[in-house]
Chains A and B, each alone.
Chain A
Amino acid sequence: MRTQTYELNMGPQHPSTHGVLRVILELDGETVIRAKPVVGYLHRGIEKICESKSYPQVLPYADRLDYLHSMGNALGLCQTVEKLMGVEVPERAEYIRVIMAELSRIASHQIFLGSLVGECGALTGFVFAIRDRERILDLFDMACGARMTFHYIRYGGVVQDLPEGWVEACRKFLDDFDGMMETYRNLLVGNEILQARLKGIAVLSAERALAMSASGGVLRASGVNYDVRKAEPYGIYNRFDFDVPLGTVGDSWDRMMVRLGEMEQAARIVRQALDQMPEGPVMAKVPKLIKPPPGEIYHHVENSKGDLGYYLVSDGSPKPYRLHVRRPAFVNLQLLDELCRGYLLADVVPILGTLDPVLGEVDC
C-alpha cells in the first residue's frame, strides 16, 4: 500500500503552542516525521529598540523578554551594566534581588508545570499551579506595585526597600509552599497516566543537548551539571547552599522533575536569604545619567529557561550601542524538531511544554 505524508499547520492560533508559536508538522498518520517551528509572530525588535533608548529606559524592556521570569531578566541586565560601570551594589539590595529572582523562578516553573499538565489534559493541575503562583504575584505586587512587568531591580540596587510586613508575608508563603508541592506531587507526579505520557518520551542525550547548546532544565535533565549560579556564581549566589537537581534519562519526565526540584531549591535559597538579609540601603550611588565607559561586556545569569546572556557594547553615550540577548528559550526551541521525530502528534505538545518556550523571549 502506498502511503503519503501530509502537513499539519499547528499554530500560531492553537490552544497550546505557548502563545503564538507556529509549528509545521509533517505527519505520517499520527507519527511526526518533521516538526518545523516558525518563530517571529511576537517579534517586537527589542534589541533594536534598546539602541535608541537611554539605559534606564532600556530596563523595562528586559521585563518583557521572558515575561514569566521578569525579575531574573532585569537582574541580568542590571548586573551587565553594573559590571561595565564598576558599581558596587549594597548588601541588602543583593539579597532582595536574589529573593525576587528565586521567587520569580518558582512562579515561572509553576506556569511550566501547569501548562505542561494542562496540555496533557489535567486542567485542574493547571488551575492549582496558577492559583498558587498568584501568591507570589501578590508578594511582588506588595514590593513594587506590579504583578507582571515589575521594573523593580534597577542599576545599582532595587528601586524601593521592601515594604513593612513583606518579609513576614514571604515567610508565610514559604510555609505554605511545602503544601503546594505536596499537592502537585500527589495530583500530578504520582499520576500514572501522566507518567505514561511523559516517561521515555523524547529522550535527549547529554551529547546532543550540549551540541545543540541547550541550557537550563533541558540540559540538566540530560544529566549535565551546569547551572550558571554554580558554575560562575554571580551576585551573591556563592553564599547560599543549594543543590542542582539533575535528571538521569533526559526524557520529558526528567525535564519536568528537574523543574520541580528547582522550585524546591529556589524556596531553599529564599529561606536562607531571608535569614541572612542585613539592614541597610538598597540603592548604590549611581549617577542620574547612566553613561557606561566605552567597551563591551558579556554577562550571563541562570534564569528559569536557562542560560540568559547579555552582550552589551557601549560607546560611552547614554544609549547602548548594541545590546544582544542570548535567549535560552530560543536556543532550546531548536531541539523541537529533533525531539519530536518519530513520536505521535499527541506528544508534540508535551514535548514543546517541557522545552518551556516563552514566546516573548523566543521572538524577542
Chain B
Amino acid sequence: MPNDDILLRIGASLRELFAGVLPGPDAVDVAMYFVALIACVALIFTNAVILILAERKVAGFMQSRLGPHRLGPYGMFQTVADVIKLLTKEDYRPQGVDKWVWAMAPVVLFVPPVMVYAVLPFGKNLVPVDLNIGIFYFVAVSSVATIAFLMAGWGSNNKYSVIGGMRAVAQMVSYEIPLVFSILGVVMLTGSLQTSVIVEKQSGIWFILLQPVAFVIYLIAAAAETNRMPFDLVEGESEIIAGPFTEYSGMRWAMFFLAEYASLFAVSAIASTLFLGGWHGPSFLPGWVWFLGKTYVMIFVFMWVRWTFPRLRVDQLMALCWKYLIPVSLANILITGIGIFAYRAMGG
C-alpha cells in the first residue's frame, strides 16, 4: 500500500535519480535531506498564506462577516496581494533600535518552526528526519522561540515592546512545563520518543481516548506557547499595541506572522501525532491526507477559540499555569503510571 502513495513515489524516484549522479549512499542521504528541507520551507510558506486567509475567513464567518472577499473568488488572492504589498514596502528601521538584535529577531523566530517540521510524521515512511528522540527534539527546539521574542522586545527600544517581550518570556517558559508533562503521558504509553513509533502505536486506539486530560492540557499549553488567544498577552493589541512587533513593519513584520502560523501548524501537527492517530485513517485516502486533515481540524479549533474568548490577564495566566495545569498534569502522569502498572500486573 505505501507504494500507492504519490509522495513516497516521488521520494523514491528522487532517490534513484540522486543515486545515479552522486557518489555513495551518504551523499544521497544528504541530498534527500535537502529536498526535505526545501519541501518543509515550501510547505511553511504556502501554508502560512492559506492559514492567514483561513484565519480571516473563520474570524469573519464567526463575526457575521464575509472576511476577505474582493480579490479573486472568495478573496482567495487576498494574502498573495498582502504579501506583495509587504514585500514592496519600505524597509524602515526606527531610530534608536539595537540594530543587530532588532534585525535578527524575526529570523531567529522563524528558525524553530522550520526545525520542528523535520520530525513531523506526515505519513508512514514520510518523516523528513525520523529522529528517535523526535518529541524531545520538538520540545527543545520550540523553546528557542522565547529568545526571539525577547530579542525583538529588547532590541526595539520601545516600552511597549519590552513589556511584550517580558511577558513572552514569562509565559512561554512557564507553559513549557505543562506542555512537556502532557506529552509525557503519551510517551509513557508508547515508551518511545520517536514520532513515527508513537503514531504506529495508535493504529488501534487514538491516545486522545486514553489521555483526554493530557490532550486538553496540551491544547491550552500549546495555545499559550504560540501566543494565541486567550493567551495572546504578548501582543495584546488593546494594551500594548503589538508588543514586541510594535516597531516592525513591512516584510520583517510579515516574518513574525509567518512564524506564528508556522508554529501554529507545528503544534497542531504534533497534537494530531500524539493524540489523534497521525496518519491513521480509512485507507481510501493516503496517510498524509489524513494527517493534514487532522492538523487542519486542530487549527480550526485554535482559531475557533481565538475568536470566541477574551484574553486573560498576566497574573491569571501565571496562576492558571502554576496552580492548575501543572498539578493536574502531574496527577495525570501519576495516574497513567498506575494504569500502566496495573495493566502490566494483570498480564497485559
Q: Do chains A and B touch in the complex (CB under 8 A)?
A: yes
**What is the interface size of chain A, counting residues whose CB is below 8 A from a CB of the partner?**
30
* Pairwise interchain contact B163-A196, C-beta atoms closer than 8 A: no
Q: Which of B157-195 contact A (CB under 8 A)?
A: 159-160, 163
* Pairwise interchain contact A123-B313, C-beta atoms closer than 8 A: no
A120 on interface, CB distance cutoff 8 Å: yes
Binds A, one of B84-92, B115-123, B233-241: B233-241
Binds B, one of A71-79, A299-307, A332-340, A341-349: A341-349
> Given the interface contacts A14-B241, A346-B233, does A124 sit within 8 Å of B159 by beta carbon?
no
* Contact pattern, B 6-37, Cβ under 8 Å of A = 1, otherwise 0: 00000000000000000000000000000000
* Pairwise interchain contact A344-B313, C-beta atoms closer than 8 A: yes
Inter-chain CA distance A127–B241, complex, in Å, is 20
B residues near A349, Cβ cutoff 8 Å = 238-239
Inter-chain CA distance A155–B160, complex, in Å, is 50
Inter-chain CA distance A197–B230, complex, in Å, is 12
> Given the interface contacts A123-B307, A127-B65, A346-B236, does A193 sit within 8 Å of B312 by beta carbon?
yes
* Pairwise interchain contact A187-B238, C-beta atoms closer than 8 A: no
Q: How far in angstroms is the closest Cβ of chain A from B275?
A: 24
B104 on interface, CB distance cutoff 8 Å: no
* Contact pattern, B 296-313, Cβ under 8 Å of A = 1, otherwise 0: 000000000001111111
B4 on interface, CB distance cutoff 8 Å: no
> Given the interface contacts A6-B159, A8-B159, A128-B64, does A118 sit within 8 Å of B312 by beta carbon?
no
Interface centre among B229, B309, B312 (most CB of A within 10 A): B309
Inter-chain CA distance A291–B248, complex, in Å, is 59
A213 on interface, CB distance cutoff 8 Å: no
* Pairwise interchain contact A120-B241, C-beta atoms closer than 8 A: no
* Pairwise interchain contact A197-B315, C-beta atoms closer than 8 A: no
* Pairwise interchain contact A345-B240, C-beta atoms closer than 8 A: yes
* Pairwise interchain contact A127-B159, C-beta atoms closer than 8 A: no
* Pairwise interchain contact B63-A187, C-beta atoms closer than 8 A: no
B205 on interface, CB distance cutoff 8 Å: no
B232 on interface, CB distance cutoff 8 Å: yes
* Pairwise interchain contact B65-A345, C-beta atoms closer than 8 A: no
* Pairwise interchain contact A121-B310, C-beta atoms closer than 8 A: yes
A residues near B310, Cβ cutoff 8 Å = 117, 120-122, 125, 191, 193-194, 197
* Contact pattern, B 47-80, Cβ under 8 Å of A = 1, otherwise 0: 0000000000001001111000000000000000
A residues near B233, Cβ cutoff 8 Å = 346
Chain A interface, >50% SS class: helix
A119 on interface, CB distance cutoff 8 Å: yes
Write the chain B residue with the least CB distance to A349: B238
* Pairwise interchain contact A15-B312, C-beta atoms closer than 8 A: no
B132 on interface, CB distance cutoff 8 Å: no
Interface centre among B307, B308, B310, B313 (most CB of A within 10 A): B310
* Pairwise interchain contact A122-B313, C-beta atoms closer than 8 A: no
- Choose among B59, B64, B232, B309 the residue that contacts A191 (Cβ–Cβ < 8 A): B309
A265 on interface, CB distance cutoff 8 Å: no
Write the chain A residue with the least CB distance to B232: A121
B residues near A124, Cβ cutoff 8 Å = 59, 62-63, 307-308
A30 on interface, CB distance cutoff 8 Å: yes
B314 on interface, CB distance cutoff 8 Å: yes
A285 on interface, CB distance cutoff 8 Å: no
Inter-chain CA distance A123–B64, complex, in Å, is 12
Q: How far in angstroms is the closest Cβ of chain A from B239?
A: 5
* Pairwise interchain contact B236-A121, C-beta atoms closer than 8 A: yes
A131 on interface, CB distance cutoff 8 Å: yes
A272 on interface, CB distance cutoff 8 Å: no
B316 on interface, CB distance cutoff 8 Å: yes
* Pairwise interchain contact B241-A347, C-beta atoms closer than 8 A: no
A225 on interface, CB distance cutoff 8 Å: no
- Choose among A120, A127, A348 the residue that contacts B311 (Cβ–Cβ < 8 A): A120
A54 on interface, CB distance cutoff 8 Å: no
B residues near A122, Cβ cutoff 8 Å = 308-310
Inter-chain CA distance A166–B63, complex, in Å, is 28
A205 on interface, CB distance cutoff 8 Å: no
B residues near A128, Cβ cutoff 8 Å = 63-64
* Pairwise interchain contact B63-A127, C-beta atoms closer than 8 A: yes
Inter-chain CA distance A30–B314, complex, in Å, is 9
Write the chain B residue with the least CB distance to A347: B313
Q: Which of B227-283 contact A (CB under 8 A)?
A: 229-230, 232-233, 236-241
Q: Which of A1-38 contact B (CB under 8 A)?
A: 6, 8, 14-16, 30
Inter-chain CA distance A349–B64, complex, in Å, is 26
Inter-chain CA distance A201–B125, complex, in Å, is 55
A residues near B316, Cβ cutoff 8 Å = 196-197
* Pairwise interchain contact B237-A15, C-beta atoms closer than 8 A: yes
Q: How far in angstroms is the closest Cβ of chain A from B301?
A: 16
- Choose among A8, A14, A16, A197 the residue that contacts B313 (Cβ–Cβ < 8 A): A197
* Pairwise interchain contact B313-A346, C-beta atoms closer than 8 A: yes
B residues near A191, Cβ cutoff 8 Å = 309-310
* Pairwise interchain contact B230-A123, C-beta atoms closer than 8 A: no
- Choose among A119, A193, A345 the residue that contacts B309 (Cβ–Cβ < 8 A): A193
* Pairwise interchain contact A16-B312, C-beta atoms closer than 8 A: no
- Choose among B59, B63, B163, B312 the residue that contacts A30 (Cβ–Cβ < 8 A): B163
Binding site for B on A (CB under 8 A): 6, 8, 14-16, 30, 117-125, 127-128, 131, 187, 191, 193-194, 196-197, 344-349
16 contacts between A and B (CB under 8 A): A15-B241, A120-B238, A120-B311, A121-B230, A122-B309, A123-B307, A124-B62, A125-B310, A127-B63, A128-B64, A193-B230, A193-B310, A196-B316, A344-B315, A345-B239, A347-B313
What are the nearest 3 A-B pairs in CB distance?
A121-B311, A127-B63, A120-B310
